[in-house]
Amino acid sequence: MVEKSELLRVPIFADLPDDQIAWFISQSQEMRIKAGDTYARQGEPADAMFVILEGQLEGRGELAGETVTFSLNAGDVTGVLPFSRMKRFTVSGRALADSRALRFPASLFPDLIQKMPELTKRLVGLMSDRIRETTRMEQQRDRLASLGKLSAGLAHELNNPAAAAKRATSQLRDVLKRIKDASHELGRQDLTVAQKTEIFSLESSLLQRDQPPPDALTISDLEEQIDSLLRSHGQNDLWQLAADLARRNVKPAELESLFATLEAGTARAALVRISASLEIASLLNEIESSTSRISDLVGAIKQYTYMDQAPVQNVDIVKSLETTLTIMNHKLKKGVVVQRDYQPIPFLVNSFGSELNQVWTNIIDNAIDAMGGKGELRVRTYRQDSCVVVEIGDNGPGISPEVKAHIFEPFFTTKGVGEGTGLGLDTVQRIVKKHRGSIQVNSKPGDTRFQVWLPLAEAPANQ
């Protein structure tokens, strides 16, 4: 038999009148649960509230494709609560140690609300805390999942230029050896001033040339012509050099002067040096381009996360969108064409750090998924009264009216188990409202548009 004093030691029942405590006990069933026994099963009808008097219980279940586990101790209340919309238990409960609990049937909640209004108020507060904690866990899991996807994509994006730079530096070592050997060979020759000038003038003119590489057919023709020229001067083993020079659009006529002013061996050393110099310049350009790409990505990451910046500041909406597009390039480049329509004047919004970037990321990610990774993504900004409107659209299949009615609801998702938590657009809506804005969606097959309205921090300089 449960004593009143036992129930009064439970925090949520503290200070309640004796007659109310007595009524609650009379309507409850005392449960003695042995260690390892189950008192509730996930998926079964949620038909009772449990008040733990002694021992320790555990809740375990699947939420959004992941296993969650939590402990319950003496003094805790679990199960379904008044005004809860829970129809079935979301987790299974079992005893970790020999335990005692009171089981109060959910069918008596109307009587409980009437007879114990103060307890009802406390239970509603407990339910609110539970909802907040569950939502926090789901949002954290959703953020981690999004971070994992972004990290994987960024790792790939960073690896490509890093690998290119590494490959170029490895090739650079071999080319430096060739140019060193060729320079030593030229140094051993008793060259006249005119001959030295001829070599260095040709080298300088080719290095300063800034033109796009020729097409494959032109390269093939040039390679054949250069190789023929070299063979005509007794250089029968410089086919690789001919190929290198052809890729850099060197014309055979430009090499004739070397053979006219130099003997064959000296001309050969000069050609090796010139070819190596051109290759060094090309490799340096490749390294510069690769490291610039890495630097741009790191800069985009810092902008995306607002690392080393104030938590609240005026954010340029177009820059925010472009940073997000850069971060998501690994998904876009697989078949998504981005159409931009930005107003030429800056739109500034007072933003909480990187939160707006989360909005763009979620909407763009959903658009890419809706298009199956291939299609047209349209990003537009314009001013409407005192707000900036960001419109993100796609030419995917559209959102059905049935789905559209629920897309902003927490935990609603059309994706498979483990692919989405249903918190993406709920998070988007909360962030937009936090910024005193609004969001709406219009959709039909081939044209889905999300419009985010945000108040401007200040009027643009040009109207």
pLDDT, one tens digit per residue, over 114-156 is: 999 999 999 998 888 877 777 666 666 666 666 666 677 677 7
Predicted local confidence at residue 16, as pLDDT: 93
420 — pLDDT class (breaks 50, 70, 90): very low
pLDDT digits (tens, 9 = 90+) for 95-111: 999 999 999 999 999 99
Contact 207, 277 (CB under 8 A): yes
Write out the H or E segment, with its range, that includes residue 15.
none
> Cα–Cα distance between 360 and 402 in angstroms, integer?
24
The whole-number average pLDDT for the span 343-355 is 83
pLDDT digits (tens, 9 = 90+) for 307-332: 555 667 888 999 989 988 988 888 88
Predicted local confidence at residue 419, as pLDDT: 46
3-state secondary structure at position 348: strand
The whole-number average pLDDT for the span 327-341 is 88
Tokens of 166: 């590494």
Residue 81: CB atoms within 10 A of its CB come to 20
Residue 40: which residues within 8 A CB-CB, separation 6 or more? 48, 50, 79, 89, 91, 92, 93
Task: Tell me which DSSP letter residue 236 carries.
Answer: T
- The answer on pLDDT for 460 being more than 50 is no
> Cα–Cα distance between 198 and 48 in angstroms, integer?
97
3-state secondary structure at position 87: coil
Q: Give the number of C-alpha atoms closer than 13 A to the C-alpha of residue 63, restricted to the C-beta side.
A: 21
The whole-number average pLDDT for the span 356-381 is 90
Predicted local confidence at residue 199, as pLDDT: 87
463 — pLDDT class (breaks 50, 70, 90): very low
pLDDT digits (tens, 9 = 90+) for 210-222: 777 788 898 899 8
Residue 262: which residues within 8 A CB-CB, separation 6 or more? 191, 195, 198, 199, 270
Residue 398: which residues within 8 A CB-CB, separation 6 or more? 443, 444, 445, 446, 447, 448
Most confident stretch, 18-22, 231-235, 457-461: 18-22
The whole-number average pLDDT for the span 165-182 is 89
